[in-house]
Every structure is written in C-alpha cells, then in structure tokens.
Amino acid sequence: MLPLRDRLPTRRTPVVNYLIIAANVLVFMAERGIMGTSPAPDRTAHAIVSAWGLVPAAFVEAPLLEAWSVVTSMFTHDPSGWMHIGGNMLFLWIFGDNVEDALGSLRYAAFYLLAGIAAAGAQIAIDPSSMVPMVGASGAIGGVLAAYGTLYPRSPITILNPIPILWFAFGLFFELPAWIVIAEFFVMNLLNGVSSLGSRGGGVAFFAHLGGFVAGLVLVRLLMVGRERRGHDRWQGLRAAPRRAPRDAHGRDPWGRRARGPFGG
C-alpha cells in the first residue's frame, strides 16, 4: 500500500522535517558520489554502509565507541539503489510535516531522534550478535507514522490503488483513513519480523521499524502534554481521491485557506 499524499495542510512551515529530508538526501548523494569514483562500486557501497551503519555486535562490545553509529545510521541509506531512500523520504514528506505542526519544531526534533534511537535499541535487543550493519531512517519514520495515526487517525490518505480490478470503480488512486494505512505498516513489519527470526543473513531491519513505532506511540503522548490537538478533515468512506480539496464560494478550503496558484496551492 503506497501512500501518495494527505489532505491536512500545516499551519506553519515544517522547517525541521525539511532539514531532516535534506540531510538524508545530501548524505545519499555523497554516498553515490563516492561510489561513482570507485573502480568497484558494489564493494564501495558495502564499505560505506559498514562504516556509517549500526552493527549490533560492535555496539554491544563497545557501546561508548559505537554510540555515534546510532545517529549516523539514521541518515545513511543503501547507496546501490533509489528505492530505500525514495520510500523513506516519501513517507517522511507526507506524514512528518503534520507531526511537527502538532508538536512544534523543537519537540519534533527530539521526537525524531528518540524514535530513531529506540528503533536501533530494538534491533540490537533482538539480535545483539549480528554483524550486519543497519542503515536507514525507517525506524524513526515508524515513530512518525505512529504519531500521525495517534493524532489524525481518520485523516484521508490518498494511496496508489493496488488492485487492478478496482481501477474501474475508483481509478488509479483512492482514499483510506490514516489508521488503516499505518496499521498495515505495523502489521506487515510484525509478520515479516516474526518470520525472519533465526535468519542469519542480511535484509530489512523489521524490529527497528517496530521499535520506532512503539516508541512513537509513547513519545507523542508525552510530548503533546500542554499542547492542543487540532481538528482535521475526516475520511468519509471509500471513494476516488479528489484532485483538490473542496472550496466554498469565497475560494477557501475546509481549513480556511484561500487557493494559491492555478491549481489551488
């Protein structure tokens, strides 16, 4: 299930979320640049991931020396392809801005880092002897998804229609409530994580995703203390995704914003 956008505008510019996305993209481009100048790109990609990723066994052996890798791993992605960083940044673009809008920029920065640290801790706890380096923002993004689902469970999310026969009824895109999209993320990671237990090879760090998600559920409740929850547009049932938010006679959308530009802003 691939989400493409939500219909919940922010009240202020999500500066921290933009900076996190920019940092991830810049690190990834630096990795690609290093690979491009190497005579053995695959070997270089593995060396980059090993150097900047979190290796559970190394962390358990020397936690103080390896503590830096918990943070660097959160901003490092597999440089051999675009799917890893592309999927992560898409989710962060869709959901992170609204979580920052609810928490405030400073609290959101703390939330993101703590969710990423919890994700790393979960992966270390499940396989402390692993020598496979872990990289990616997915654990922290799992926390972001949990926070969004907590704050805006019925917010409409436009997804790519995964069932061809339903294209005739709803088209290529349709809307689902956020809680279904986010629950699917959790359930799929849980099932895949359980099935991966005992495997000694590399792959996706499913328990990091789960650890970040659970941390997000807890952290958002703690960090929302003293802050007012905002109302939001609610999912009204299965239907094709609208091209733009409906507007009243004065050109305002459901949140009181006027249209900007030829396509409604």
Q: What is the pLDDT of residue 243?
A: 62
pLDDT 10s digits, 124-152:
999 898 888 999 999 999 999 999 999 99
Average pLDDT over residues 162-179: 78
Indicate if the pLDDT at residue 55 is higher than 90: yes
Average pLDDT over residues 184-206: 80
Buried-exposed string 48-64: b where 16+ CB fall within 10 A, e elsewhere = bbeebbbbbebbeeeee
Percent of the chain with pLDDT over 70: 84
Q: What is the pLDDT of residue 74?
A: 94
Query: Where are the chain's structural domains?
Result: 2-240
Question: Which range has highest mean pLDDT (43-47, 61-65, 108-112, 242-246)?
Answer: 108-112
Residues 124 and 56 sit within 8 Å (Cβ to Cβ): yes
Indicate if the pLDDT at residue 255 is higher than 50: no
Percent of the chain with pLDDT over 90: 52
- Amino acid, res. 67: A
What is the dotted CATH code of the domain comprising 2-240? Answer: 1.20.1540.10
pLDDT 10s digits, 171-182:
778 888 999 999
